[in-house]
Amino acid sequence: MKENITLFWFHRDLRLNDNTGLYHALNSSDRVLPLFIFDTEILDKLTDKTDRRVGFIYSALSKLQQEIAAVGSSLLLTHGKPVDIFNQLTDRYSVEAVYTNHDYEPYALVRDAAVADLLKNRQIPFHSYKDQVIFEKQDILKSDGTPYTVFTPYSKVWKQQLAIQGLRFRPSEKLMSNFYKTATLPFPSLQSLGFEHSWTGFTEPVIDEDVIRRYHLTRNLPYLQGTSNMSVHLRFGTISIRELVSKALAWNEQWLNELIWREFFMMILANYPEVVEKSFKPKYDFIVWRNDESEFMKWCRGETGYPFVDAGMRELNETGLMHNRVRMVVASFLTKHLLIDWRWGEHYFAEKLLDFELSSNNGNWQWAAGTGCDAAPYFRIFNPWEQAARYDPDSVYIKKWVKEAGTPAYATPIVEHTYARQRALEAYKKALNPL
């Protein structure tokens, strides 16, 4: 006799509180078995077997397992292709329904569609909910029904809509007694998944009210703790976006705008998936990049001889994170000073960033290269020396990451600023005005 269960499939929503799909699952049944799949389609592509993101997810899952075990249930942690896993689970249990939250990245859409098909063939209802964002791709449109491609008018309507609709919290944490009662199920080790636990990384998402209240004053200063550090938690859903937005509304509008930038780029990727490969503004695909590989390697390693750029790249390599101001400067430097295709930099960030998010990474790289929607005009080229003087006047950040800066041991600049700026202007002009 197969046991009746309802499955809740965790994606990138690794929390028990205010989780929309989980709330609906627990409301519909008192036999909800929570499931997470370590997807081999994703894991097999990660060449670095000490990838910090896998460590983060694993730590977040271990914490979930403890919380779920405390109510007499268990997380079912599996490893394989999602379609195969669902085949096995629907053979083993009598699955009454599957609940999950929407996931918008191109691969996730394909994966979820395949699972939806399989469940449909087996006559199992599949329910998916908006959870990761306040507004998704068709929620905020221009009066002619097309998506916004400029941030400011988008953000205005976003705020108006929020004022009308309000935040819809879903207190899934109050329904935990409806998890399926079972002894703890086997929990595979990270090693058995082919990864090493080089870094446990998980820290509770703690929102510092003082930091947020002062955010507009400190957000550009990389030597301070002047931003929220919420990007990793938003990436994996260890915090609810509704919780953050409610705090932003109370504490700081500038910070709210950053949360809206996140949704703006998600909306752009969902409506214009071609941006993954192409410039949002097609004529920018005519830029003739220099793409010098040895210069690219120096940029990756933080050996360009520009201390602010090198500090950022070394911070990224060492921690998996980089301050936003510095991300803007290193991206501008790669695309403008070195004339290297923004896609090279984007891919490097995608490999290294703990908070890697396809939409934000792509959107910001295209912004920095001048090729994206609502991007910085191409002729506005950051001067890395001026950026450092303005945002790290005492070189505190630089000295933290580039110990040898200012000594004879430090690299000489890879290219001279004024010359590089002129070269970039000419390359961009040529692409935009052929002949």
Task: Point out which residues bind ligand FAD (CB under 6 A).
Answer: 219, 227-231, 234, 258-259, 261-262, 265, 324, 327-328, 331, 349, 353, 355-357, 360-361, 364-365, 368
Which burial class, exposed, middle or buried, applies to 66 when counting CB atoms under 10 A from its CB (0-12, 13-18, 19+)? exposed
212 C-beta neighbours (distance < 10 Å), count: 21
Q: Which is nearer to ligand FAD, 221 or 368 (CB)?
A: 368
Q: How far is the CB of 259 from ligand FAD (least distance, A)?
A: 5
Q: Look at the block and give the residue holding tokens 């595979």.
A: 188
- Cβ atoms 215, 254 nearer than 8 A: yes
Amino acid letter, 263: E
Q: How far is the CB of 274 from ligand FAD (least distance, A)?
A: 19
Q: Report how far residue 312's alpha carbon sits from residue 120's, in angstroms, rounded to the nearest whole number.
A: 48
Residue nearer to ligand FAD on the CB measure, 71 or 396: 396
> Own/partner pairs for 42-50, CB < 8 Å, 24+ apart?
42/107, 43/193, 43/194, 43/195, 48/351, 49/194, 49/195, 49/196, 50/195, 50/196, 50/198, 50/199
| Minimum separation from the CB atom of position 157 to ligand FAD (A) | 18
CB of 421 to ligand FAD, least distance (A): 19
Closer by beta carbon to ligand FAD, 9 or else 342: 342
122, 118, 124, 148: which is closest to 135 by C-alpha? 148
- For residue 214, with 0-12 CB atoms within 10 Å meaning exposed, 13-18 middle and 19 or more buried, which class applies? middle
Closer CB to ligand FAD, 138 or 218, in the complex? 218
**Residue (155 or 178) nearer to ligand FAD, CB:** 155
Q: Smallest distance, Å, CB 277 to ligand FAD?
A: 17
Residue with tokens 């780029």: 265
Closest approach, Cβ 269 to ligand FAD, in A, equals 11
Residue in 250, 252, 201, 264 with CA at minimum distance from that of residue 228: 252
Minimum gap (Å) between residue 434 Cβ and ligand FAD:
28
Instruction: State the Cα–Cα distance between residues 221 and 34, nearest whole angstrom.
Output: 41
Backbone dihedral region for residue 305 (phi beyond 0: left; psi -120 to 50: alpha; all else: beta): left
The residue among 197 and 213 lying less far from ligand FAD, judged by its C-beta, is: 213
| Helical residues (DSSP H) of 8-150, grouped into ranges | 20-28, 40-43, 52-69, 82-92, 106-121
CB of 286 to ligand FAD, least distance (A): 22
**Which residue lies nearer to ligand FAD by CB, 357 or 374?**
357
Q: Which residues of 352-372 are buried (b: 16+ CB within 10 A; e: fewer)?
A: bbbbbbbbbbbbbbbbbbbbb
Q: Pairing between strand 94-101 and 4-9? A: parallel
State the DSSP H helix or E strand holding residue 128, giving kind and residue range, or none if neither: strand 126-129
Is the separation of the CB atoms in 333 and 312 below 8 Å?
no
Nearer to ligand FAD, 195 or 365 (CB): 365
**Active-site annotation, residues:** 258, 261, 289, 324, 342, 365
